[in-house]
Amino acid sequence: MADDLNTVHILQGAYQRALEFINASIGELKKMLSYAERMSLFVSLFEIEKAAREVLDVLGLLNDLSCAEILKEMKQKALTRAGLSEEDFSQKMEERTMARKNKDF
């Protein structure tokens, strides 16, 4: 079903409000000081994730990759877009670390 029935458009419409809530919640989490408020939002976000995973699994759109694998793929795509290799990135990070250590901003 991943390629049938305009699934992307349907999910985009169906999850638009959920995505808006998630984005707003992340912004609120940054501002909130109350532990109870933060925990309430965490629970809400967890429930949204659980429901989204169930729907995506039924539709055959749930990715079987681990979080580490997904992050590795995202990192590689970002490096490709930036025109950098892993070595270039590591070198720039090392240079930045040394500059910070030497307070050479």
Domain count, the chain: 2
47 and 86 in one domain? no
Q: What φ, ψ does residue 59 adopt, rounded to 5°?
A: -80, -5
Q: DSSP secondary-structure letter at 8? A: H
pLDDT value of residue 49: 82
- DSSP labels for 37-96? HHHHHHHHHHHHHHHHHHHHHHTT----S-HHHHHHHHHHHHHHHHT--HHHHHHHHHHH
22 and 70 in one domain? no
88 and 38 in one domain? no
Q: For residues 7 and 55, is the Cβ–Cβ distance under 8 A?
A: no
Q: Which tens digit of pLDDT belongs to each residue from 56-88?
A: 778 777 767 777 887 888 888 888 888 888 888
47 and 35 in one domain? yes
Range of the domain at 71: 65-105
51 and 9 in one domain? yes
52 and 73 in one domain? no
16 and 54 in one domain? yes
